[in-house]
């Protein structure tokens, strides 16, 4: 039996295990998926010893950047992005890092844009997921700004409000289950029907971020499509 898994902390919000188990069952694959909820990334060494048939794993918050120190090889796109969410383990137990988040976000973004004109984007957050978002925005030549708690950017956007044809992306865990009442401090009341809000969170299905955006006429999307697209891309890497 081949094993795959997810490494992160906490993992109570994750749909990856159910997604891959459904895939393995539907496609009659002799595979098993394990959630590795670890508080210290160094535990990865013990996991690889404990699971000699582990073929690969995905990484989520907060390890998409920290995982680099354990990798023997990093794909060029993952290097440029600065984050890894997929690791393949070869026959010599060497770890190969990739990024499929950008593939997932690119598909989600194309669905959300659907030919609409976007003049500027705002990316909320500075973690591993935001790096993949920025990578895609650069490829599509969409100007963007970063909103972070580390500077005064949230206050600046509150003062200025949203303008027409702007895209706002939540790449933070704020509003994710079980803390579903969490809401980024943004000027939602200045949004309108020309704005697009994308939340990379997929649990709950409709976050407070999305609800507030819709209240003022903006369109809003969750991250489920991104999850599915990046998961299938991960499977293609593991299957090579």
- Report the catalytic residues: 64
Are 97 and 78 a contacting pair, CB within 8 Å? yes
Average pLDDT, the chain: 96
**Bridge partners, 234 (sequence order):** none
Q: Mean pLDDT across the stretch 222-230?
A: 96
Q: How far apart are CA 49 and CA 115, in angstroms?
A: 49
* 151-165 pLDDT tens trace: 899 999 999 999 999
Q: How far apart are CA 58 and CA 214, in angstroms?
A: 32
Strands 86-89 and 54-59: antiparallel
Q: How far apart are CA 124 and CA 122, in angstroms?
A: 6
* 70-102 pLDDT tens trace: 999 999 999 999 999 999 999 999 999 999 999
Are 235 and 26 a contacting pair, CB within 8 Å? no
Q: The sheet that has 2-8: what strands, in order across it? A: 31-37, 2-8, 54-59, 86-89, 95-98, 73-74
13 has pLDDT over 80: no
Q: Mean pLDDT across the stretch 137-150?
A: 95
Residue 185 pLDDT: 96
- pTM comes to 0.93
Residue 14 pLDDT: 76
15 has pLDDT over 90: no
Q: How confident is the model at residue 10 (pLDDT cuts 50, 70, 90)?
A: confident
> Which segments of 69-152 does DSSP mark as H helices, in order?
76-81, 101-113, 128-139
- In the three-class reduction of DSSP (H, G, I as helix; E, B as strand; rest coil), residue 82 is classed as coil
Residue 124 pLDDT: 97
- In the three-class reduction of DSSP (H, G, I as helix; E, B as strand; rest coil), residue 16 is classed as helix
């Amino acid at each position: 039996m081949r094993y795959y898994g997810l490494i992160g902390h906490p993992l109570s919000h994750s749909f990856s295990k159910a997604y891959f188990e459904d895939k393995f069952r539907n496609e009659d694959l002799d595979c098993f998926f394990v959630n590795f909820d670890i508080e210290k990334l160094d535990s990865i060494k013990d996991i690889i010893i404990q699971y000699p048939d582990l073929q690969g794993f995905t990484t989520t918050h907060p390890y998409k950047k920290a995982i680099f120190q354990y990798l023997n090889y990093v794909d060029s796109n993952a290097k440029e992005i600065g984050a890894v969410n997929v690791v393949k383990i070869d026959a010599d137990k060497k770890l190969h890092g990739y990024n499929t988040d950008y593939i997932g976000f690119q598909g989600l973004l194309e669905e959300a844009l659907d030919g609409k004109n976007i003049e500027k984007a705002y990316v909320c957050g500075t973690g591993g997921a935001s790096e993949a978002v920025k990578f895609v925005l650069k490829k599509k030549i969409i100007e963007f700004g970063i909103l972070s708690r580390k500077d005064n950017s949230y206050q600046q956007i509150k003062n200025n409000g949203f303008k027409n044809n702007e895209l706002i992306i939540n790449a933070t865990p704020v509003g994710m289950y079980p803390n579903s009442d969490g809401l980024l401090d943004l000027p939602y009341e200045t949004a309108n029907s020309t704005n697009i809000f994308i939340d990379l969170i997929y649990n709950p299905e409709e976050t407070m971020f999305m609800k507030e955006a819709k209240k003022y006429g903006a369109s809003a999307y969750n991250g489920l499509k991104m999850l599915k697209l990046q998961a299938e891309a991960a499977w293609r890497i593991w299957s090579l």
